[in-house]
Amino acid sequence: MPGIKLSEKTIGIIQQVCSDFRNEGSELINVLHQTQGKLGYLPAEVQEVIAKELNISVAKVYGVVTFYSFFTMIPMGEHPISICMGTACYVRGSEQVLAEFKRQLSIEVGQSTPDNKFSLNCLRCVGACGLAPVVMVGDRVYGRVSPQMVKNIISEYKEGCVSEAKSA
């Protein structure tokens, strides 16, 4: 296992999340969700702390982390970009949108840009099929995205309009 040592502070954050859910094993998905929200990703060491706190096996935690594509074990960029590959988005051209993101950012799915500003992922349906194809950047949803729009979306975040992104 690639060893990173968690700081006391990080361990404290994880323990707090677990205790918010009464350290119950049945709350594993919620705990993982919140922890990823706070830390950005779920490396092995974080999963080990969660397993210990919830008194379940680390294999079980890893099983859930690898089952849901939402969870990631590698750090996401400051602005995680997700392209919907659900049926509706796919038939309306999300593959071409994804290809354009890959080209513009020079990264593959599952990777982050060297400056850690952007990371690229696919997801399956955000429940906004009427807006297909859909792209999410952070919490913000972009609908009816065409490959031509990709450059503008990226530049919104490059120019530092972070506040807008967060408020959305």
- Interface residues with other proteins (CB under 8 A) are 1, 44, 47, 56-63, 66-67
Looking at the Cβ atoms of 66 and 116, the one nearer to other proteins is 66
Per DSSP, the three-state class of 74 is: coil
**Helix residue ranges, H only, the chain:** 8-20, 28-39, 44-54, 58-67, 87-91, 94-105, 150-158, 162-167
For the CB of residue 60, give the shortest distance to other proteins in the complex, in Å: 5
Listed in sequence order, the residues at least 6 apart from 78 whose beta carbon sits closer than 8 Å to its beta carbon are: 116, 117, 118
Looking at the Cβ atoms of 28 and 134, the one nearer to other proteins is 28
Listed in sequence order, the residues at least 6 apart from 136 whose beta carbon sits closer than 8 Å to its beta carbon are: 80, 81, 82, 84, 123, 126, 142
Looking at the Cβ atoms of 21 and 62, the one nearer to other proteins is 62
For the CB of residue 32, give the shortest distance to other proteins in the complex, in Å: 14
For the CB of residue 70, give the shortest distance to other proteins in the complex, in Å: 12
Looking at the Cβ atoms of 59 and 159, the one nearer to other proteins is 59
For the CB of residue 20, give the shortest distance to other proteins in the complex, in Å: 24
Torsions phi, psi of 110, nearest 5?
90, 0
For the CB of residue 112, give the shortest distance to other proteins in the complex, in Å: 21
Evaluated on CA atoms 73, 75, 80, 85, the torsion sign reads negative
Looking at the Cβ atoms of 25 and 40, the one nearer to other proteins is 25
